[in-house]
Homo-oligomer: A and B are copies of this chain.
Amino acid sequence: MLTKAPHLFDEATRVTAGDSRWQGRTSDDYWAFVGPFGGATAATILRALMEHPQAAGNPLALTVNYCAPIAQGDFDLDVRLVKANRSTQHWSVELTQAGSDVATLATAVFAERRPSWSHQLAPFPQTKPFEQTLPYAKIAAAWVKQYDFRFVEGEPNVGGGGSNTAPANAFSKLWIADRIPRKIDALSLVAMSDAFFARIFHARREIVPFGTVSLTTYFHADADDLAKEDITCVFGVADAKIFHKSYGDQNGELWSPEGRLLATTTQIGYFKA
């Protein structure tokens, strides 16, 4: 008998049981410095919604607010369908651990994606193919090991920086794939939308304390679109507009190799510098 081990990402974002209350568990494979990789947390929340018996349609928008650190171990997801109509669903999710305060607060919109006039205005960024781009070798946190990052432009260059250097730009273009290939779905898109290295590391050319505070991702491809793409990597671009009074923004795009815009994302994060 041939059995197939689940992908680490699917293990890391596994949820069990529940109607209004689901359970998940942090993954050592997707651990960051002081807590789980935020993209894995976001994907776990989205998975609880997508696997929910009442879920209808496709993820359209997801906002995740990281309220407090998540400790290693089990957590509960309080899932609530706040409002539904013929074509959209509005969800709210609260992540808690051992009955304590809310550690992560999320809202999501699901929608039936009906056929319409279609037009992609954003141009596909210039790039060379995934296969011709070198993998990024400087791996720090555990979660980074789970991805195959291949920078076409804006590879982080930390070490030469700090407060005495002129700020660098914060723009990056890179291929992102799961280290062990996994077909791109809405779950990996949301995780990858938090997988860009913090823009402050790029602008300062040094690693400083940083944490995502709020992340929003919009999905521009539904399950049918993604099934047709049948891809295991995306091309990502990320940039920042401002760092001010301990907070900075990030905006990003995730593209299929063929030049289809799959998701757009934005986040605001805390930094100490």
Across-interface contacts of A122 in B (CB, < 8 A)? 241-242
Is residue A221 contacting chain B, with contact meaning CB distance below 8 A? yes
Q: A61-B213, A61-B214, A266-B264 are in contact. Are A120 and B82 (CB under 8 A)?
A: no
Contact B116 A272 (CB under 8 A): yes
Tell me the smallest distance from the CB of A119 to a CB of chain B, in Å.
5
Contact A121 B203 (CB under 8 A): yes
Is residue A83 contacting chain B, with contact meaning CB distance below 8 A? yes
Q: A170-B121, A243-B117, A246-B114 are in contact. Are A251 and B251 (CB under 8 A)?
A: yes
Most-contacted residue by chain B among A111, A169, A220, A240 (CB, 10 A): A220
Task: Report the contact-size class of chain A (Cβ under 8 Å from the partner).
Answer: 35 or more
Point out residues on A near B: beta carbons under 8 Å: 60-61, 63, 65, 67-68, 82-83, 85, 88, 90, 92, 94, 101-103, 105, 107, 109, 111, 113-122, 163, 167, 169-170, 203-204, 213-214, 216, 218, 220-222, 225, 239-247, 249, 251, 253, 261, 264, 266, 268, 270-273
Contacts beyond the supplied A109-B214, A118-B245, A120-B243: 5 A-B pairs with Cβ under 8 Å: A65-B107, A82-B94, A83-B102, A92-B105, A121-B242
Per DSSP, chain A at the interface is strand
Q: List the 6 closest A-B pairs by CB distance, nearest first.
A: A113-B245, A122-B241, A67-B83, A61-B214, A117-B273, A116-B246
